[in-house]
Amino acid sequence: MSNYFTLLQLPKSFTIDLVQLEKNYLKQQQAVHPDRHISSDAAARLAAAQQSSIVNEAYQTLKSDLKRAEYLLKIKQGVAANAHTISDPELLMESMEMREELAECLTTEALAAFAAKAGKQREAAVQEIGVAFENQHFEVAERLILRLKYLTKLADEIRLKRVALSA
């Protein structure tokens, strides 16, 4: 297997057909699932379990916009996306402002409005990443991936705050 896209028979592209991903995953998983090798020797069962694990990892990576973008950048550039720091001053400022706005959401209604706004920004970032990859602008893609990572984390924080407000 050369990469997850090849394993799951998809084009090496950020924009993929998620329905086809699911179909290809189920087909691959059916072929390699350890239960199909229950009567095989220990080495064959171990190999099947390892292959099944790789298929699962490929599926989990490709079905996530963020993980797929990071993985594709690694394939295209040979390096991982900047995973830890926000060095872009505009993104840093946006991040701080959005966090302040989230902190100010004291009602479920205010939080719902904020969540919708953040969701639209996340959708826009996903679209922009697709364009960047399509045009082979990998530095732009890397910057946008960092923004998507931040927006994904923000969505998690919104979910936590929603639970806290409803308690």
Residue 80 has pLDDT above 70, yes or no: no
Domain boundaries, the chain: 4-63, 89-166
Fold of the domain spanning 89-166: Monooxygenase (1.20.1280)
Instruction: Please list, in sequence order, all residues whose beta carbon lies within 8 angstroms of the beta carbon of residue 54, skipping any fewer than 6 positions away.
Output: 1, 7
Place of tokens 């292959």: 51
Q: In angstroms, rounded to a whole number, what is the distance separating the alpha carbons of residues 32 and 112?
A: 43
* pTM for the predicted model, two decimal places: 0.85
- Residue 104: what residue type? E
Average pLDDT over residues 119-134: 97
Question: Higher model confidence: residue 40 or residue 76?
Answer: 76
Per DSSP, the three-state class of 83 is coil
CATH number for the region 4-63 comes to 1.10.287.110
pLDDT for 84: 47
- At 7-61, the pLDDT tens digits run 999 999 999 999 999 999 999 998 888 887 777 888 888 888 899 999 999 999 9
